Amino acid sequence: MTNEQQFAASFAEIHPPLGRREALVEANRCLYCFDAPCSNACPTHIDVPGFIKKIASGNPGGSAMTILNANILGLSCARVCPVDVLCEGACVMHRYNQRPIEIGRLQRHAMDYFYAAGRRLPPAAAAKPGRVVCIGAGPASLACAATLRQRGFAVTIFDSRPLAGGLNTYGVAEYKLRPSDSLLEVELVRSLGVEFRLSAEIGGELRIKEMEEQFDIVFLGVGLGRTQPLGIPGEGLPGVVDALRFIADYKMHRGALVGRRVVVVGGGNTAIDAATAALRLGAEEVHTLYRRSETEMPAFEFEYDLAKREGVRFHWLTQPVAIHAATKDNAAVESVECVRMDLGPPDRRGRRQPQQVPGSNFRLPCDMVIPSIGQSRLLDFLSQFRDIRLAGGVVVVDPATGQTSNPRYFAGGDCVNGGREVVDAVAEGKRAAAGIACILAAKAEAMLEDMHG
């Protein structure tokens, strides 16, 4: 087996595609609810019963268009959405004492058909005056750009990385979404006539000024920053790799060196992605530390179940306080020093705060540490833009339009919501696009009036 084959085998998709017949049977189970709870539970409001019935009738192309009309990233959302707590969680079949309809896999069925058949979106509307720049090439910007471009506006996307797609390309576990699939969606957006400037330098007073001169509206879809540092001694050792970098590295290089005993720090979905990936890459043991208990863990239940099934070991109420090297001369990680935690009284938000148990320190031997305690806020970067109000490190927007406190700036995705699902980013990108289109249309009208005075 080649490395690539071995890698593909280790990272086989956890939700394999439905066969044609399987999809038909599943689609026919759908009751075709009116005012369907699944559609309402979808942040992008895909007409779920509508696209499912089109699969049942043998109209997969129409089905895919129903999805894409609401969500340009239908392919990746079908793969990465936490459907248990979205559409499938809302399915009325639960109350019928039956399995919910497999909406995610049916959506994937339609989207796979769309891409495999080489289908295209209808051409963009006639060109309209107005130029928009989207900063960041992740889901929010892609959705915003596609929507605006479809309506006839000129859109350019800037991103500092060499590939577009943001976390869809770089940050989602391989067994959920492959970079090649994420890039298919990027190509779809490009096919609409959206211009991409990748590996671009963004920021700096001059560049921002230049950008504001070139474009009428700026959409910020910049996401969040790097994984937050643990803030403990030993964090700089070479065996310490943050989760996002770890995931991006193994995805881009189709493999990565991992330790024999890996410790992941954090209890979120990214921590799970990193832990299960470490196992797939050959780690013998993977330990996850979380400073609260099982019930407070922020990862989705199905993610946690997956990790448990695959053999990740969880250490609750455990916080790392130092990472130790083997010797003074050998910088290799030798262990993580941990301390036991207790849950104190609930704070103002009702969350019980963990407190260290004095004298409970112990060492967990390991040779690699993957911090995954959430992404940092891009405070420095965002504060370069004039008059954009931030709160808690994220951009404040009008929830109806996505407009920021600077009327020429709109924003959406993780930099606004603090880090949620891909489908939320798409919904926010779409919402901002509608807001931007309104402003540009009003501006064009005002110009016409001036001309005809």
Total residues contacting another protein by CB under 8 A comes to: 33
Which of 19, 20, 96, 346 lies at the binding interface for another protein (CB under 8 A)? 96
Q: Are 164 and 135 in contact (CB under 8 A)?
A: no
Question: Considering beta carbons, is residue 35 or 201 the nearer one to another protein?
Answer: 35
Q: Which stretch binds another protein (CB under 8 A): 224-232, 241-249, 359-367, 424-432?
A: 424-432
Q: What is the helix (H) or strand (E) element at residue 12, kind and residue range? A: none
Closest CB to another protein among residues 92, 343: 92
Contact pick of 12, 32, 214, 344 for another protein (by CB under 8 A): 32
Alpha-carbon distance 416 to 338, whole Å?
Answer: 34
Q: Smallest distance from the beta carbon of 26 to another protein, in angstroms? A: 9
Q: Which of 17, 50, 89, 393 binds another protein (CB under 8 A)?
A: 89
If binding is defined by CB under 8 A, does position 83 make contact with another protein?
Answer: no
| Residues 45-74 within binding reach of another protein (CB under 8 A) | 45, 56
How far is residue 346's CA from residue 134's CA, in Å, rounded to a whole number? 41
C-alpha separations of 87 from 33, 81, 83, 106, 109 in Å? 13, 9, 6, 12, 16
**Which of residues 27 and 317 has its CB atom nearest to another protein in the complex?**
27
Q: Nearest approach, Cβ of 353 to another protein (angstroms)?
A: 23
Pairing of strands 318-325, 333-346: antiparallel
Contact 109, 60 (CB under 8 A): yes
Contact 43, 74 (CB under 8 A): no
**For helices 139-150 and 422-452, what crossing angle results, to 10°?**
40
Residue 75 CB, nearest distance to another protein (Å)? 19
- Which one, 240 or 416, has the nearer CB to another protein? 416
Closest contact distance (angstroms) between CB of 33 and another protein is 4
Pattern 342-371, another protein, x by CB under 8 A: ------------------------------
Binder to another protein among 427, 432, 433, 437 (CB under 8 A)?
Answer: 427
H helix runs in 225-383, sequence order: 243-252, 269-280, 301-310, 379-382
Minimum CB separation of residue 112 from another protein in Å reads: 20
Question: What does 349-404 look like in DSSP terms, one character per residue?
Answer: TSPEEEEE-TT--EEEE-SEEEE-S-BPP-HHHHTTSTT--EETTEE---TTT-B-
- Residues numbered 403 to 422 that lie near another protein (CB under 8 A) are 420-421
86 is an interface residue for another protein by CB under 8 A:
yes
Give the Cα-Cα-Cα angle 337, 339, 342 (nearest 5 degrees).
165
Please state the closest distance from residue 92 (CB atom) to another protein, in A.
Answer: 4
Query: Contact residues for another protein (CB under 8 A)?
Result: 24-25, 27-28, 31-37, 40-41, 43, 45, 56, 82, 85-86, 89-90, 92-96, 399, 420-421, 423-424, 427, 431
